[in-house]
Amino acid sequence: MTTAALGGEIEAPCLLGGENCDGECKIRVKVPEGAQTGRTVRLRGRGMPSLRSRERGDLVVELFIETPTKLTAPQKALLRELAGLCGEQQNPRSANFFHKARKFWDGVTGLDARA
């Protein structure tokens, strides 16, 4: 969760590692800051080889962000403090969606979105 929020690197299983791969090899994937579940990261030239050439395709890694299930009291306190600092900015994707949906609905019904 923190890597997704702050950005960083993770390891993902490698499809075809090449000569030095024992089948258990990993590939480093850069996770962008603020990544959400479902976001994809493309690694050019790291995928499956083409059938008719020596070129390799792209490896697409889909991110799944896991939320911690067992937090200690200090961890909970820090998350509550973060939530207080963030306010409404915690969920920019869903807030943006609901804002657009409300604006659309207000346009259909003739109501002013700012009222």
Confidence class of residue 95 from pLDDT cuts 50, 70 and 90? Answer: low
- Please write the tens of the pLDDT for every residue from 51-93: 888 888 888 999 998 888 899 999 999 988 988 887 756 665 5
Q: What pLDDT was estimated at residue 32?
A: 93
> Mean pLDDT for the chain?
80
**Domains of the chain, start order:** 1-67 (2.60.260.20), 69-115 (no CATH)
For residue 22, pLDDT over 60 is answered with yes
Concatenate the DSSP letters of all residues of 63-97 into one string: --PPPPSS--HHHHHHHHHHHHHHGGGG-HHHHHH
For residue 50, pLDDT over 90 is answered with no
Is residue 23 helix, strand or coil?
A: coil
Confidence class of residue 115 from pLDDT cuts 50, 70 and 90? Answer: very low
Rounded to an integer, what distance in angstroms lies between the CA atom of residue 31 and that of residue 40? 9
Confidence class of residue 29 from pLDDT cuts 50, 70 and 90? Answer: very high
Is residue 26 helix, strand or coil?
A: strand
- Of 56, 53, 62, 15, nearest to 35 by C-alpha is 62
